[in-house]
A and B are shown apart, each in its own frame.
Chain A
Amino acid sequence: MDDEQAESYDWRGLADGVRGAVCLAGLVMGCSFIGFGALIKSLDFGLFPAFFTIGFIWALPGQVVFADMWAKGAELSVIALAVAVTAVRLLPMAVLVLSKARLRGAPRWPLFVVAHFTAVTIWLLTNQMIDTIARPRRLPWMLGLGASLMTAMFAFTAAGYYLAESLPPALARTMVFFTPAFFLITLVSGARWRFDYWAIALGAAIGPVAAHYWPRFDLLIAGLVGGTVAFLLARPKRRGLLK
């Protein structure tokens, strides 16, 4: 089954990927994008710019950082840095996902497309499902999964946007609150190392203090200081950068 030397992708995997998008993780993702739609409405960011962030950023923390900082009038360079920091976690995620899908003999360009689809839900589903899928079908499977999830998220976001407009204020606020609640719980659920817990606690503690003294750079300061201190406090055993 793990035929890494195969020379061409088996595109029948595409349809399996589309079907694979209908699952609990996809539903949770849909709820998070309903929350995103409500947040967008609440920030007065605009639905079409929100669609643009889905298609081009395709990672919810980056999208929320962008929309929140843009709405508050932050400078572009500061927004770019903060989004870049939230997106670095996609690098190891994409390496893990793609190394299970690539074929040595096949063209490389589809990898650059699937890389764009790689975000936390696809990484999660890949970890769950990949061993049950024949290697030549894996990359088409990811393409089908990514493309159908992305399409669905446009609809979920629009639904959240219009619901936030039409529901009673208490319900609309609850929809907006979904985003911080979901992000925090996802961070805790994704914690594997001791430093992860320290990073959550320190980032949460430093954030509001930094917002008070350096309002334009609060996220960057909280991330760099909190993350670095957490890493130094509870550093795992040493390894090199390269294999």
Chain B
Amino acid sequence: MSGLGVYGAIIVAGFAVTYVWRFLAVLAIGRLDAESDLLLWVRAVATALVAALVLRLVTAPAGLLEQASMPGMLAALAVGVAAFLFAGRRVELATAAAIGCFFLADIILG
């Protein structure tokens, strides 16, 4: 890894690379079109990256989720998305459905 330690790493590889966009936003107020092609592409890349992160947390789990059933987790994610799309588009209810489904699957399959 590096000699920085976790706190130094958070400053360099966490804070700096995050705050830079917020800093640029202050400079760009009134000048940048938030719906330009460039920013929409960036949005698509960030969205795909977070979707990949979700799959990584589930298909290559570390820690506690290593003991969970992968089909159970994938089914719970599918239930959550379906609950969101077909039952009123409520984030909190859909998330509750997903983790409820996970809990049941975990008890039954695990």
Q: List residues of B (63-110) whose CB comes within 8 Å of A's CBs.
A: 63-65, 67-68, 73, 76-77, 80-81, 84-85, 89, 91-92, 94-95, 98-99, 102-103, 106-107, 110
Q: A184-B54, A208-B55 are in contact. Are A118 and B49 (CB under 8 A)?
A: no
CB distance from B25 to the nearest CB of A (A): 3
Helix, strand, loop or mixed for chain A's interface?
A: helix
Contact B21 A90 (CB under 8 A): yes
Q: Once bound together, how far apart are the Cα atoms of A226 and B52, in whole Å?
A: 9
Contact B33 A57 (CB under 8 A): no
Contact B48 A182 (CB under 8 A): no
Contact A177 B14 (CB under 8 A): no
Contact A200 B47 (CB under 8 A): yes
Residues of A within 8 A of B54 (CB): 180, 183-184, 187, 204
Contact A203 B28 (CB under 8 A): no
Q: List residues of B (2-35) whose CB comes within 8 Å of A's CBs.
A: 2, 4, 6-7, 9-26, 28-35
Which one of A9-17, A72-80, A147-155 is at the interface? Answer: A72-80
Closest to B78 in A: A184
Contact B99 A177 (CB under 8 A): yes
Kindly count the residue-residue contacts between A and B in the assembled complex, taking CB atoms under 8 Å apart.
345
Contact A227 B45 (CB under 8 A): yes
Closest to A64 in B: B53
Count of chain A residues near B, Cβ 8 A: 116
Q: A95-B28, A223-B48, A227-B47 are in contact. Are A177 and B68 (CB under 8 A)?
A: yes
Q: Which of A57, A62, A66, A92 has the most C-beta atoms of chain B within 10 angstroms of its own C-beta?
A: A92
Residues of A within 8 A of B15 (CB): 56-57
Task: Report A27-51 CB contacts with B as 1/0, cut-off 8 Å.
Answer: 0100100000011011111100100
Q: Once bound together, how far apart are the Cα atoms of A54 and B10, in whole Å?
A: 10
CB distance from A2 to the nearest CB of B (A): 14
Task: Report A220-243 CB contacts with B as 1/0, cut-off 8 Å.
Answer: 101111111011000110111111
Binding site for A on B (CB under 8 A): 1-2, 4, 6-7, 9-26, 28-60, 62-65, 67-68, 73, 76-77, 80-81, 84-85, 89, 91-92, 94-95, 98-99, 102-103, 106-107, 110
Nearest 6 A/B pairs, CB to CB = A223-B49, A207-B52, A203-B48, A42-B63, A227-B45, A203-B51
